[in-house]
């Protein structure tokens, strides 16, 4: 499954330009299809795990 940049932005409550910046900065892998980028579900899960914060107990 692939997500559009718009879907990723909606999921995280950020602007599409922020998602494009993550892609440009190689923080979020994406596939360019035509003039748009798509993000694989597995890559989105890895992105979430790599950006998790662990609260001290």
Give the pLDDT confidence of 29-45 residue by residue, as tens digits: 999 999 999 999 999 99
Give the pLDDT score at 56: 53
Give the pLDDT score at 13: 96
* pLDDT bucket at 51, cuts 50 / 70 / 90: confident
Residue 28 near residue 22, CB atoms below 8 Å: yes
pTM across the whole model: 0.84
Q: How far is CA 1 from CA 6, 39, 40, 55, in A?
A: 15, 8, 6, 31
Q: Which CATH architecture has domain 2-50?
A: Orthogonal Bundle (1.10)
Mean pLDDT of 3-17: 96
Give the pLDDT score at 6: 97
Name the CA dihedral angle for 27, 33, 7, 42, rounded to a multiple of 10 degrees.
Answer: -50
């Amino acid at each position: 499954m692939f997500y559009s940049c718009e879907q990723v932005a909606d999921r995280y409550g950020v602007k599409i330009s922020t998602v494009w910046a993550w892609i440009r900065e190689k923080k979020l892998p994406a596939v360019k299809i035509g003039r748009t980028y798509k993000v694989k579900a597995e890559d989105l899960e890895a992105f979430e795990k790599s950006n998790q914060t662990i609260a001290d107990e």
